[in-house]
Structure 1
Amino acid sequence: MPQKAAGATKTPRLRLGRALRRRRLELGLTLVKLADRCDKAGVPVAHSHLSKLERGHYTPRPGLRLVLTELLGLDAEVFETEVPEAGGTP
């Protein structure tokens, strides 16, 4: 069976998820703590949903994108490469 080339499975959602995870860990936040901060910022989200975002299963909805940008100190451009796909969150 042929092997996939390195990086061949890196979709925009997966790259975004990895960027979110990397920054969250740099800040020393757990998924639960980040979910709590999102809730306090007015955008409730389950820590399990954040985990799915980090694994590239979903695309964050606009309100969550804004809050994650602010809480994680990310450049909004990290979301611009994201192409909406089936399975994204509302």
Structure 2
Amino acid sequence: MPQVIPEQRRTAVAELIARINYGLVIGGFALSLSDGSLHFRVTLPLADAELTQEQFDRLIGASLWTVQRYHKAVCRLLYGDDLSPAEAVAEVEMAG
């Protein structure tokens, strides 16, 4: 995934990640409008519980799957044809 979004594309990518994040159950993408850094963040509130290896593996697995799934939408928006953020998300989500 691109680490820094060019300034001229940040507004479009911000809309893209808002559309993506709306449908996510675990984690979410975050974009810094000041420096263009794009991240995926996930939390697991445990309170006093202990994190098991299985929970960790599932959390990382779900995060990696999500990033891989939407990587194409980010790249298509940055480097592809003149797609709108809505079209870029729809393209990925219709592919399964």
Tell which structure's C-alpha radius of gyration is larger: 2
TM-score bracket for this pair, using the shorter chain length: 0.3 to 0.5
- TM-score, structure 2 normalization: 0.31
More strand by share: 2
